[in-house]
Amino acid sequence: MSDRVTVIGGGFAGVEAAKQLTRRGIPVQLFEMKPVRFSPAHKSEKLCELVCSNSFKASRPDSAAGELKNEMALLGSLCVACAKETAVPAGGALAVNREDYAAAVTAAIESDPLIELVREEVTEIPREGIVVVAAGPLASERLSEDITKLCGDRLSFYDAAAPIVDAESIDMDHAFASSRYDRGGDDDYINCPMNKEEYEAFYDALVSAEVVTLRDFEKGGIYEGCMPVEVMAKRGADTLRFGPMKPVGLRDPRTGHRPWAVLQLRKENREGTLYNLVGFQTNLKFPEQKRVFSMIPALKEANFVRYGVMHRNSFLNSPAVLTSAFNMKDHPDIFFAGQITGVEGYMESAAAGILAGINAARRIEGKAPVLFPETTMLGALSRYIADDTIKNFQPMGAALGLLPPLPDRIRDKRARYAAICERGMRDAAAYIDAEKLR
């Protein structure tokens, strides 16, 4: 086995994986296809090009995004360091000058004596030696074909996901747990009933809400197996009542009668801290999702930990393919990192790169892979991409709902979030020191 590692992709995940390897004295050959070839969304020759927002979300230490970045900083994250170096005013968020940011990352990679940056397209994943595939959500067609050869039909090309809410934020005074026709599994579903007046107001808001405009390369095929709820609703006022909001087989214990319409929430993870809105895959803009879906009485104060999305985004059915160390179950020398693993967001992609890089190095060194505690955001994301209890795996970003609750309930939300994040940082620092990761 060669000690030199091949990293495919010069985005957030690829550069982080490369730097974690070289910090451990392991040389890297980093392949980036730009400028030989550009994806439909990329224009710059620089590494870590930002194609959407220039924000890396909240900086507050009592937020999920802040917690993730703080844990990454403990591991010497290149992306976090360059973001702070090129930051621009953005209130409580960490935002950057995108050109300066990409230039800073590129310079750091080009100046690393253990990294050979190769500007060419990789069309096949090497089957010998340690490899980290960090090709991003827009991997080239030929590379995607080779990934499909490795993974079978477990590579998706469109992200069609319903929103997910924090279980603690569901108003159970306006909801009830029950399966249809009392068939058991009552803790798997929470039902959010609506009367006729509530449903009609919700329907009117839904069909008039603003939707995201898809880019040209995202159009076509996205709706074939997964109709957006707002498109379905426009077929008629009762379409949802005979579809994802059908009330048949359910009885509201508050009234003793069948509701006019019901939104079902399905348990998203093993711990039951997250629930997804069944059948509500959507292309509504994020603020519109919050406004419209909060009209459902049980979701009036809901905390949306992930909004619904429908766009071009290649990702693996990772629980079937990957371990929590980000390497393949069937080909353990091949690691994946970034959004292709089912994490969502710039910094989440970078975090996956850090973990894949560390575990690739440890495989070379003959050491056991790292798995951060479940109380940390790094540990939660590692477990999420390998959780085979998830029935319909979809990409997920950092969310406090992924972390286990505190042993003692704190009623004040801000104080509770702060305590959860303080616990995460303590546990992350202790684990890093115990494993000698810095």
Position 222 scores a pLDDT of 44
Instruction: Domain ranges for the chain, please list them.
Output: 5-161+311-435, 164-307
> In whole angstroms, what is the distance from residue 13 CA to residue 352 CA?
6
Amino acid in the structure at residue 346: Y
Position 158 scores a pLDDT of 56
Phi, psi of 391 (to 5 degrees): -75, -35
Position 37 scores a pLDDT of 75
Class of domain 164-307: mainly beta
> In whole angstroms, what is the distance from residue 222 CA to residue 216 CA?
12
C-alpha separations of 422 from 61, 68, 417, 428 in Å = 8, 12, 9, 10
Residue 336 has pLDDT above 60, yes or no: yes
Position 1 scores a pLDDT of 44
Q: What is the pLDDT of residues 79-110, one digit of tens each?
A: 999 999 999 877 788 988 888 999 999 999 99
- Rounded to 5°, the CA angle 123-314-233 comes to 150
Q: Which residue has the tokens 């093993």?
A: 270
Burial 292-325 (b: 16+ CB within 10 A, else e): bbbbbbbbeebbbbbbbbbbbbbbbbbbebbbbb
Q: What is the pLDDT of residues 223-234, one digit of tens each?
A: 434 578 998 999
Mean pLDDT of 395-421: 92
> In whole angstroms, what is the distance from residue 388 CA to residue 21 CA?
29
Q: What is the pLDDT of residues 10-51, one digit of tens each?
A: 999 999 999 999 999 999 999 998 877 766 555 778 999 887
> In whole angstroms, what is the distance from residue 166 CA to residue 169 CA?
6
Mean pLDDT of 347-362: 98
Position 404 scores a pLDDT of 94
Position 41 scores a pLDDT of 56
Residue 124 has pLDDT above 60, yes or no: yes
Phi, psi of 350 (to 5 degrees): -60, -40
Q: What is the pLDDT of residues 283-312, one digit of tens each?
A: 899 999 999 999 999 999 999 988 887 766
The CATH classification number of 5-161+311-435 equals: 3.50.50.60
> In whole angstroms, what is the distance from residue 126 CA to residue 398 CA?
31
The fraction of the chain above a pLDDT of 90, given in percent, is 67
> In whole angstroms, what is the distance from residue 2 CA to residue 310 CA?
41
Torsion angle defined by CA atoms of residues 434, 431, 437 and 62, in that order, rounded to the nearest 10 degrees: -150
Residue 178 has pLDDT above 80, yes or no: yes
Residue 63 has pLDDT above 70, yes or no: yes
Contact between 335 and 327 (Cβ < 8 Å): yes
Residue 378 has pLDDT above 60, yes or no: yes
